[in-house]
Amino acid sequence: MKRIAAIGKNKSVGSYGASGEIIKLGGEAMISYLARLLYITMNNGTLPGDWKRVTVIPIHKGGDRSLVANYRPVSLTSVVCKQMEHVIASYLRQVWDKNDWLYEGQHGFRLGYLCESQVITLCQDIADSLDNRDKINTIIIDFSKAF
């Protein structure tokens, strides 16, 4: 119910033209319909066509508007599809946490873990290795676009 209440008025309507406001106004009554839709989708092994359609728009990040590098793409998908993604992701997180399937060093896409905590952990590991005079093998990745 919290997910439905959090739907913004200005969210993408998707190719089917129904706004998130309709789902939001339906409130708790919409949950059984969305659950049924998810059940049918999962059992058929296919996604509704509207869930596969995306409108990509460029969002200006700053700087010279004539440079393509100063834009980032944003994908607008249907509100229903996004709600289903949240339901599935939440369920998977619960299963992973319950069964302790994730490595403690996995910080991305986990509640209570931040990209910053991953960097701090890495820096501490390097410092500990240097203090112990251990050999360090590294692969450097440019994260500047991630932040």
Q: What is the pLDDT of residues 16-48, one digit of tens each?
A: 555 666 676 666 777 777 788 888 888 888 888
DSSP 143: -
Per-residue confidence (pLDDT) for residue 30, from 0 to 100: 74
Higher pLDDT, residue 102 or 29: 102
Query: Which residue in 65, 78, 60, 62 sits closest to 23, CA to CA?
Result: 78
Would you state the pLDDT for residue 118? Answer: 85
Does this model's pTM top 0.75? My answer is no
Q: How far apart are alpha carbons 142 and 34 in whole angstroms?
A: 40
